[in-house]
Each structure stands twice: as C-alpha cells, then as structure tokens.
Chains A and B, each alone.
Chain A
Amino acid sequence: MSAESDIQDKLKEVFGEQISELKTTRERRVFVKVPLPLVKEVISYLKQNLGMTHITTISALDVGEEIEVLYHFWCCGVTLSLRTSVPKANPVIDTITPIIPGAILYEREIQDLLGLKVKNHPDPRRLVLPEDWPEGVYPLRKDYKVEEG
C-alpha cells in the first residue's frame, strides 16, 4: 500500500462521490478536484485526520470562463494538489487562514494578480502590485496583453 493509494482511499472513503478526478500522476504526486463549497471541509479533514501542516503554495490560473485555484499541500509524504473552480463572474473564495495560518501571503497574491476576492482574509492589502495600480486590472488574466518593448 503506497502512500499515494493510501491517501486516495481515505479521501474516497470520507468524501465519496463529491470529489472527482482523483489521480496519481507519478510517485508522491496526487491531484484531486473538489467543488468550491467543500474546500474548507476537505482541508480541515486533511489537517485533523491526516496530520497535514504544510501548504506549499496556492496557484491560480485563468481558463476562460472560470478561474482554477490549486492548493498544493505536503501531506503524509505526498504532494497533494487540490483543485477547485471559481466562476469569473463571481470570483469569491473563502479564506483558509483559520485552518492554515501559513497561507496568508499566497491568498493576498492571487487576490492581487488575478482578482479573486478572498472573504474574511485578515489582511486584504495588495501584495506585489503598487498602490496606484488601477482597480479591476489583473495582470495574470489572459485578457491582459503585454506590449513588446
């Protein structure tokens, strides 16, 4: 029983049909897709029952009508990437800092560069862009074009 199949079995057991696209691409890499309302519950489960304490980063990317958010955790010897989709028309997610305080700066970064609104974030200021950057302009979205210098 490898660590990867262990995690997959436990997640399937607890969350069953609600999670999808559970796959192991190679050793120590597991991907899973979770619907948006279930994200905090899955992360709490990982922390309390599987002893996960370390979040590596939060990546977000623009896939047209939606924004995909990936949480990369280090859990039981495996890098587990949790994927969720947020509609671009209403890009709101809830913060996970009450569960994992170390995620505070990563949430600020996706808020700044991709326009995701993180509800109840303890410190929702800009992270990398300057203060006088215009509102509503998100550099990492696909419709923001860079001119050649």
Chain B
Amino acid sequence: MSFSIPIGPQHPALKEPTHLMVTLDGERIVDIDMRLGYNHRGIEKGAESRNYIQNIYLTERICGICNVAHTTTFCQGVEELLGLEVPKRGLFIRTLLCELNRIHSHLLWLGVAGHEVGFDTLFMYSWRDREIVMDLIEIISGNRVNIAINAIGGVRRDISDDMRAQILQGISQLEARSQYYLEVASTEVTFVRRTQGVGKLPKEKAVELCAVGPYARASGVEYDVRKDDPFAAYPYLDFKVITSDRCDVLGTAIVRVLEIMESCKMCRQIIDELPPGEIKAKAPRKVPPGEVVSKTEAPRGELIHYIKSNGSDRPERLKVRTPTLADIPSVLYSLRGGYIADIPIVFAAIDPCMACMDRVTLLDIGNRKTGNMMTWEELREYGIRWYANKKG
C-alpha cells in the first residue's frame, strides 16, 4: 500500500520553499511530484517598467549567489543590441569576477552538501575558507554579495597593483584548501557512503531531459557554455571542461571541487595577462530596436537572457531561464526508486536556487480576490484571535 507525504514548502531540510509530493512504498519512492512558484517575484514584468540601467540591478537580485552571471548576461545582451565593443581590460575583469563568483558558489555548495548528509564539520570549514573569496570580492568591488561590478559597456572598477598581489595570495590559499577538500570528499567514508550510487542519472537520460551545468557534466555530458559558446574573455583563456562518468551525487561533488581548482588556475592566468587600457565604453541610454539571445555559464549551468528592445530606454521583453529550472525534470527522474532519506542530498546535487528559478510573483495588493493576503496588522489580529479561540 502506498501513501503520499508532502515535503515543504516550509521544511528544515530544504533551504528554499518548494513543495514535493512523495508517493512511498515503505521507504522507497515510487513517484514524486514538484510544485514550484513560491519565490516568484515579478521580475520579468518589472523589467518592462524600468530603464536599462535600473534593470542591471534588478537582474542582479534574481539570485544572490550567481549575481555576477546575471549581470554579465544582461549587460552582454544590451551591448550586442547597441553594437558596442567592450575594451579588453573590461572583459578580463568581468571574467575574473565571474570565476571568483564560481569559486564562492561551489564552496557554498560543498558546505551545504556536507550539511545535508550530516557532516557539519565540512560545512563549517568550507564556509570559513569561502571567506577568503568573499574578502577578495569585497576588496575589488566594495560589497560581498550583489557586487554590481558590471555596467553597460564594461566594468565599473579597476584592479590596482596591490589588489593583484592580494588576489594572487588568496588564490594560492584556495588552491591548497580545495586540494584538501577533494581528498576529504573522495575518501571520507561518512561522505562517500551517503553519496555514492545515490541519485543516479544515466547519460542518455541527462541528454534527453536537457540537463545543464555541473549536474549534467557529472553524468558525462560535455556541455559548457564557456567552451562551446565563449563569451567575455574566455576565448583567450586556457582551461579544461571537467566531466565525470560516475552519474551520481559523488560525481557532482568531485566535478565541483575540480572546477574550483580549474577556476583558480583561470584567475591566475587572468591576473598575469591583464591588458592595460580602458575598462568601460560609453553607452547611450536609448537602445535601437532589435532582439538578442545572450548566454553565459552561471555556477549552476547554462543561463540565457532573451532581450527585445523597441527603441526606447526600457526593454520590451526580458526573458530569463535559469539553470535550476532546466535540471528539475532530471532530478525528479533520479529520485524515483531511491530512498526517502536521500531526498535532501539528491535535491541538493543540482545546487537548487529557487529564487533564480521562480523569479516572478505578482502580488495584487489592490485586488484582494487573488488569494489569501493579509497586511501585517491583519496578520497580528488573526494570530491573537486564533490563540484566544484556542484557549477557549
């Protein structure tokens, strides 16, 4: 006899609200269904009523962890519509911050994965090492999260010589630490036993369901926008695309830690080869009519922005598809047939970012008919009444 239990939207094992309806037979998952949309914020509609400069900051707030990827994709798209060429130094600094952002996101993931399997020591130590990256990002851009380094036409801040020395020192420390985490992740029995053979996704299924990012690369699909459709300064950099043929969650952990090491090498190459010159080209406010498809590799996978302009200083349409949405059919496939206790770690293997994925909710405050909405005072009164009724 099978029964269904709901997990979420509020649940201690999930970092962000989603709703999973799990049909179980004993401990095995027979079927699983997912409900999205709890973090939907109205960004695509909101972008149509803001000008292009304000939209850089709006797209940045789609996700806190991959904020550089969103601004890079947006600015790249608008620069293509304007026919603007970004100076080479600007492209290199943009790429440096994309890679630092990738390192910080993968270290964050490593900590979260450790936490989901109960290995809190790994969580604490990897997040302490993440502080090295956050300090470097703060030195360069002035803020740790939502760094707003990109502008239409280039970047806003330059890298001075003593910053270069600090960056190189931070990168050496990160390389040593990520080598250590690679050993821990692949040899520590408590981590390996929870992740090996769990959440299997064979390569054909990953291709059929169009998975992207390190999750697909752990199943052997070699698709990385930095190599296949290079943007920013990636045509000048020399790096490998990391894949693994393990097809399980341990594969995703190993791919991500190796990507941290590869990113450190890329950052070093960028600092060594940073060309002199301008960092930003002047951009007009009004964008001629046209449309553009802009793709980048966010830390979680392939990110696409489709922008259509109509000649004014506001976009006609902005469409964003984030990598987490592309991985959802694959993760639901890999959860079927597994154990219920594995749900947190298998779900965490795609590095889910619900804020990125949902993006648009519209709260119609004027028209109260849409759903159960209360103001703060109403909510307080409701709570007081509820407790008064309960006490009798």
Contact = CB atoms under 8 A, between A and B. Distances in A.
Given A72-B306, A79-B293, A105-B328, A146 B362 contact: yes
Interface in A35-62: 53-57, 59, 61
B215 interface: no
Contacts of B210: 53-56, 100-103
Nearest to A109: B325
A132 B370 CA distance: 7
Interface stretch (B36-44, B138-146, B259-267): B36-44
Interface in B283-327: 291-293, 295, 302, 304, 306, 308, 316-317, 319, 321, 325-326
A112 to B, nearest CB: 9
Interface in A17-51: 25-26, 28-29, 31
A74 B302 CA distance: 11
A57 B304 contact: yes
Interface in A64-114: 70, 72, 74, 77, 79, 81, 100-106, 113
Contact of A139 (B308, B360, B365): B360
Contacts of B26: none
Given A57-B321, A128-B360, A139 B370 contact: no
B54 interface: no
Given A26-B80, A139-B360, A72 B304 contact: yes
Contacts of B328: 105
Contact of A146 (B45, B229, B319): B45
B358 interface: yes
B316 A61 contact: yes
Interface in B244-283: none
B46 interface: yes
Contact of A101 (B208, B308, B321): B208
Contacts of A81: 293
B43 to A, nearest CB: 11
Contacts of B37: 126-130
Contacts of A130: 37, 370-371
Contact of B321 (A54, A100, A106, A129): A106
A31 B293 CA distance: 10
A56 B49 contact: no
B306 A70 contact: yes
A149 B46 CA distance: 12
Contact of B304 (A56, A100, A105, A128): A56
B40 A140 contact: no
B302 A133 contact: no
A147 to B, nearest CB: 6
Given A56-B295, A128-B358, A128-B360, A133 B371 contact: yes
A101 B329 contact: yes
Contacts of B40: 128-129
Contacts of A100: 210
B378 interface: no
A72 B293 contact: yes
Contacts of B44: 140
Output the residue of B46, B321, B361 with the most chain A CB within 10 A. Answer: B321
A139 B362 contact: yes
A147 B365 contact: yes
Given A54-B210, A140-B45, A133 B295 contact: no
A61 B372 CA distance: 29
17 contacts: A25-B292, A29-B293, A56-B210, A56-B302, A56-B326, A57-B306, A79-B229, A102-B208, A102-B329, A104-B329, A105-B329, A113-B360, A128-B359, A128-B360, A132-B370, A144-B45, A146-B362
Interface of B: 36-37, 40, 42, 44-46, 49, 80, 207-211, 223, 228-229, 291-293, 295, 302, 304, 306, 308, 316-317, 319, 321, 325-326, 328-329, 358-362, 364-366, 369-372
10 tightest A-B CB contacts, nearest first: A102-B210, A57-B321, A128-B37, A59-B319, A61-B317, A59-B306, A128-B40, A102-B209, A132-B371, A53-B207
